[in-house]
Amino acid sequence: MSKLIFELSSVGRRCSELPPLDVELIEFDEALTRQSTPSIPEVAEVDLVRHYMELSRQAFGVDNGFYPLGSCTMKYNPKINEETSSLAGFAQIHPLQPESTVNGALQSMDELSSALCEVTGMDAFTLQPSAGAHGEFTGLLLIHAYHQHRNDLKRTKVLVPDSAHGTNPASAAMAGYSVISVPSNDKGGVDVDALKSALSDEVAALMLTNPNTLGLFDPNILEISRLVHEAGGLVYYDGANLNAIMGIARPGDMGFDVVHLNLHKTFSTPHGGGGPGSGPVGVKSCLIPFLPKGTLHPTEKKLTVSSEFPIGRMRSFYGNFLTNIRALTYILSLGGEGLKEASENAVLNANYMMAKLSDLYPVAYVGPCMHEFVVSCQKLKDETGITAKDVSKALLDYGIHPPTMYFPNIVHEALMIEPTETESKETLDRAIDVLREIHALAYSNPQVLLDAPKTMPIKRVDDVLAARHPILKYTPEGAQ
Amino acid sequence: MASYVVNTKEQREKMLAEAGIDEQSFYASIPQDVKLQRPLNLPKGKSELEVLRHMKHLASLNTVYDVVLRGAGSESHFIPAVVRQLSAREEFVTAYTPYQAELSQGILQSIFEYQSSICAITGMDACNASVYDGASAVAEAVNMTGDRKRTVALLPKSIHPETLETVKTYTQWLPITVKEVEIKDGKVDVESLKSLLTQETACLVLQQPNYFGILEDVEGLAKLAHEAGAKVIVSANPMTLGVLKTPREQGADIAVGEAQPLGLPMSFGGPYLGYMATTTDMVRRLPGRIVGQTKDLDGKRAFVLTLQAREQHIRREKASSSICSNQAHCALTAGMYLAAMGPQGLKDVATHCTSKAHYLFNQLSTLGFKLRYDSSFFHEFVTDGPLSSHKVEDVLSSHGILSGLPLDETGILWCVTETSTKNDLDRVVSILKEVLA
């Protein structure tokens, strides 16, 4: 196990030093200054380098290997994106510079917004939301503002399918709505009859992921959006799964009024071990008047001109700008045809893996999938005791990042597999072989799987201990 | 055109044949009326060389200033090369959230170390793995403090206006009412605060140093809030914490802030880093990811995402926030920056900032610029002077210097960091002197 950087610390050791102060020293009164030196590490540059190099060897990114983490679209992150986003003309500009000195930033935001409008069929975008959940929250505030503005004050509920990401109901609650869960039908789509009975003049919106978290495109989408609209509600598109349909179908043409995208999924920006992402929100024209401050005005093309009735602002400044530069770079690289090609290959790769695995790992809902599919390990568990978690931990020893486990909640012992378009047939074939081998081991030698992983720096971790006796920071005694 | 699809056309056909699947069937569930019947109306894909050319052109349309004297939530600080180089390691950059602990110890440990360093500089007990930025951190902190009886959040007009807007945006449909505390001489007006504190007050938010760069009497104000039973949220610039009293020492129950100064470039406003730290008894109200230390089956130290019962994927609509993706890579970078600077380096940066800011003010005062508020400031200050704020901005801009931020006709909010030399600051004064002459 690696030492903590605090355990490498030695009093007086220095890494980065400033030049001598070239003006008169000003110091604060003792009453204002801290009583003790902060116990942050004291290390030399080489200590720092070797420490983080060691940590990097205990991390696993797309650059290390196959990462079929369902719902997360872990496609390859092109290197050109890193180069463009680190250009001084983007990275070294102040957000409050005079607007006349940032024409390139404004133009890049405009180019990205326009491209996202075309891909989704929406009328305008705000690039301010910083992640998918932030986009959801933004979108629901827009919906809330829309109803209020029309003096339609009875709408207090948001409908969310039971297969949805947990962020959907959580974002709806932050926007002041109570959440009504809509059951799925036997094909994994929205149960239209249940939807009908849930709809009323108290419903503000339906939030939908399409293709949904089972990797299935809902064939009733037009009826669903029509029903919601007839009841006076709006339809929200969770863009987590847009990677399946670029150039093939557009949320704007399905009846969605507001969408969020995850640029760190569909548009190849790296996920950084948990962020930063970017969650732009696209709207139909009826919602443009409510876009947050800090949005490039759709017609004036300025950041200093606000919409008519802004919902406020979602954070400081204009969003994760450099992440947005990466996404624009990606879109320019691929072009319209390239985006479609990406989606087609994402769907092909998923269907190929599903066809070659479904005899051993039954698919929860049968039929061609889109860019991902969900299998259930329930039968495996019943017959061998090996769970979805055991299969996942075994994959680690083969150098494959496990799929998303235990989601969506409506599938027992779920594994959600999303290969993405940037993986080769050879990579998919090996993963298929490995998963089949693990399946065989479950019957012949389950103990091997229960003991996995064996090649990682640590064995399986004690989650319960972590939560019962939280140790959330280094202390010289507590960490030994 | 660039394409990151790996398989050749032949391979794709082979895949279809081997698996016995038909490409058309994949899209059978998409209704005809929904299918896009034309190509996307986007430019054709471009080669890397062409894309780079285009992006360089866009970047060249932005002015990169040699000297930056503007802050107001985004600061120009020195970033050691080691921080830039090391944080760019692909294993860090291209990893997802560390759901699989055994494969992600490096990411988890980097966040644990970040949490530890933030606790060290703020004096708090526990810290989360980050939120989107400083403004949303304040909003999330406000959401941590409300309950059935205490529903009012007090925010003084001396906090960053975009923070105030963000808090109002976040809370607009929640059972929390934002009330603004008046200011006097650029600081919280104690009388105004006293008149607003009641049994319904959930929290008082203070920014230290405040929007105008002035040091608030956080200790005194926190005492008043605590006497009324309210929580105190301090939004502290982390760059000051090598020198100034910690938020904890000043009475904070929750310390938050914008950690962009810790190794992140200005980047036209993002990605930035909202840090959030609190006391042990409030830790279960923190939003977002938290990394904890535990053991593996062999009893070895290990790190894991923990206290997840607070989070959206478990609690759904009852979660403390909807946040899922955060700013983890920015947190890794900030943790690295703090280790590169060490306690002495952090103190030196703070001292340079303060000393240089006072030097610039002293020089400007020889030209007739006066402090708008006669109070102790850290490295930002507001002047009124003999030239209009926009004139100052224009003149300095033409010399490659980004002036302080014009607040109104004459008011300018300056920010001076360690990146400016005495020579730079003297140039500012001589340029303005020439205009006045």
Of B34, B120, B297, the CB nearest to A38: B120
- Strands, E assignment, B240-398: 254-258, 274-278, 291-295, 301-305, 370-371, 380-384
Condensed to tens digits (0 to 9), the pLDDT of residues A202-232 reads: 999 999 999 999 999 999 999 999 999 999 9
Of B34, B39, B173, the CB nearest to A175: B173
Reported ipTM exceeds the 0.90 cut = yes
Of B325, B344, B348, the CB nearest to A274: B325
Give the mean model confidence (pLDDT) for residues A98-116. 98
Of A21, A272, A313, the CB nearest to B169: A313
Q: What are the chain B neighbours of A204 within 8 Å (beta carbons)?
A: none
Q: Do A340 and B352 touch (CB under 8 A)?
A: no
3-state SS, one letter per residue, for chain A: CCCCHHHHCCCCCCCCCCCCCCCCCCCCCHHHECCCCCCCCCCCHHHHHHHHHHHHHCCCCCCCCCCCECCCCCCCCCHHHHHHHCCHHHHCCCCCCCHHHEHHHHHHHHHHHHHHHHHHCCCEEECCCCCHHHHHHHHHHHHHHHHHHCCCCCCCEEEEECCCCCHHHHHHHHCCCEEEEECECCCCCECHHHHHHHCCCCEEEEEEECCCCCCCCCCCHHHHHHHHHHCCCEEEEEECCHHHCCCCECHHHHCCCEEEECCCCCCCCCCCCCCCCCCCEEECHHHHHHCCCCCCCCCCCCCCCCCCCCCCCCCCCCCCHHHHHHHHHHHHHHHHHHHHHHHHHHHHHHHHHHHHHCCCCCECCCCCCCCCEEEECHHHHHHHCCCHHHHHHHHHCCCCCCCEECCCCCCCCEEEECCCCCCCHHHHHHHHHHHHHHHHHHHHCHHHHHHCCCCCCCCCECHHHHHHCCCCCCCCCCCC
Band the pLDDT of A477: cuts 50, 70, 90.
Answer: low
Shortest Cα distance from A257 to chain B (angstroms)?
15
Of A248, A315, A474, the CB nearest to B35: A248
Best A235, A428, A472 residue to mutate vs chain B (most B CBs within 10 Å): A472
CB proximity under 8 Å: B 353-382 to A: 354-356, 358-359, 376
- Which residues of chain A form CATH 3.90.1150.10? 344-465
Best A47, A55, A401 residue to mutate vs chain B (most B CBs within 10 Å): A55
Condensed to tens digits (0 to 9), the pLDDT of residues A134-178 reads: 999 999 999 999 999 999 999 999 999 999 999 999 999 999 999
Q: Do A6 and B27 touch (CB under 8 A)?
A: no
Q: What's the predicted TM-score (pTM) here?
A: 0.98
Give the mean model confidence (pLDDT) for residues A267-280. 98
CA distances from B104 to A33, A60, B92, B95 (A): 38, 6, 10, 9
pLDDT at A364: 86
Which among A257, A327, A347, A360 has a CA at the least distance from the CA of A80? A327
- Which residues of chain A form CATH 3.40.640.10? 80-331
Condensed to tens digits (0 to 9), the pLDDT of residues B334-392 reads: 999 999 999 999 999 999 999 999 999 999 999 999 999 999 999 999 999 999 999 99
Condensed to tens digits (0 to 9), the pLDDT of residues B137-191 reads: 999 999 999 999 999 999 999 999 999 999 999 999 999 999 999 999 999 999 9
pLDDT at B55: 98
Condensed to tens digits (0 to 9), the pLDDT of residues A2-32 reads: 899 999 999 999 999 999 999 999 999 999 9
Q: What is the mean pLDDT of chain A?
A: 97
B201: how many CB neighbours lie within 10 A of its CB?
Answer: 21
Q: Do B166 and A48 touch (CB under 8 A)?
A: no
Condensed to tens digits (0 to 9), the pLDDT of residues A402-417 reads: 999 999 989 999 999 9
Q: What are the chain A neighbours of B78 within 8 Å (beta carbons)?
A: 18
Shortest Cα distance from B184 to chain A (angstroms)?
21
pLDDT at B267: 98
On whether the CB atoms of residues A421 and B5 are closer than 8 A, the answer is yes
- Cα separation, B182 vs B71, in Å, equals 23
Of A42, A249, A423, the CB nearest to B342: A42
Condensed to tens digits (0 to 9), the pLDDT of residues A248-259 reads: 999 999 999 999
Q: Which CATH architecture has domain A344-465?
A: Alpha-Beta Complex (3.90)
Q: Is the pLDDT of residue B299 over 80?
A: yes
Q: Do B4 and A76 touch (CB under 8 A)?
A: yes
Q: CA angle, corner B223, sides to B220 and B227, nearest 5? A: 145
B90 lies within 8 A of chain A by CB: yes
- Cα separation, A307 vs A125, in Å, equals 12
CB pairs under 8 A between A and B: 707
Of B243, B246, B270, the CB nearest to A28: B243
CB proximity under 8 Å: B 183-212 to A: none
Best B324, B380, B397, B412 residue to mutate vs chain A (most A CBs within 10 Å): B324
B248 lies within 8 A of chain A by CB: no
Give the mean model confidence (pLDDT) for residues A93-119. 98
Band the pLDDT of B323: cuts 50, 70, 90.
Answer: very high
Q: Do B60 and A57 touch (CB under 8 A)?
A: no
Give the mean model confidence (pLDDT) for residues B5-21. 97
- Cα separation, B94 vs B192, in Å, equals 50
Best B41, B96, B425 residue to mutate vs chain A (most A CBs within 10 Å): B96
Condensed to tens digits (0 to 9), the pLDDT of residues B69-89 reads: 999 999 999 999 999 999 999
Which residue is closest to B124 within chain A, CA to CA?
A473
- Cα separation, B54 vs A98, in Å, equals 23
Which domains does chain B show, CATH number per domain?
Answer: 67-78+343-436 (3.90.1150.10), 81-337 (3.40.640.10)
B16 lies within 8 A of chain A by CB: yes
Which residue is closest to B378 within chain A, CA to CA?
A28
Return the H-helix or E-strand segment holding B117: helix B105-122
Of A170, A319, A458, the CB nearest to B270: A319
Give the mean model confidence (pLDDT) for residues A260-264. 98
- Cα separation, B236 vs B239, in Å, equals 9
The radius of gyration of chain B's CA atoms, rounded to the nearest angstrom, is 25
Q: Do B44 and A336 touch (CB under 8 A)?
A: yes
Can you list the alpha helix ranges (DSSP code H) found in B146-255? 161-171, 190-196, 218-227
Give the mean model confidence (pLDDT) for residues A106-111. 98
Q: What are the chain A neighbours of B80 within 8 Å (beta carbons)?
A: 15-16
B435 lies within 8 A of chain A by CB: no
pLDDT at A1: 60
Which among B325, B347, B27 has a CA at the least distance from the CA of A272? B325
pLDDT at A478: 46
CATH class of the domain defined by A80-331: alpha beta
Q: Do B355 and A21 touch (CB under 8 A)?
A: yes
Output phi, psi for B257, to 5 deg: 160, 180
Q: Is the pLDDT of residue A480 over 50?
A: no
Q: Do A470 and B328 touch (CB under 8 A)?
A: no
Shortest Cα distance from B201 to chain A (angstroms)?
20
Q: What is the mean pLDDT of chain B?
A: 97
Which residue is closest to B208 within chain A, CA to CA?
A32
Judged on CB neighbours under 10 Å (0-12, 13-18, 19+), B49 is exposed
Q: Do A323 and B244 touch (CB under 8 A)?
A: no
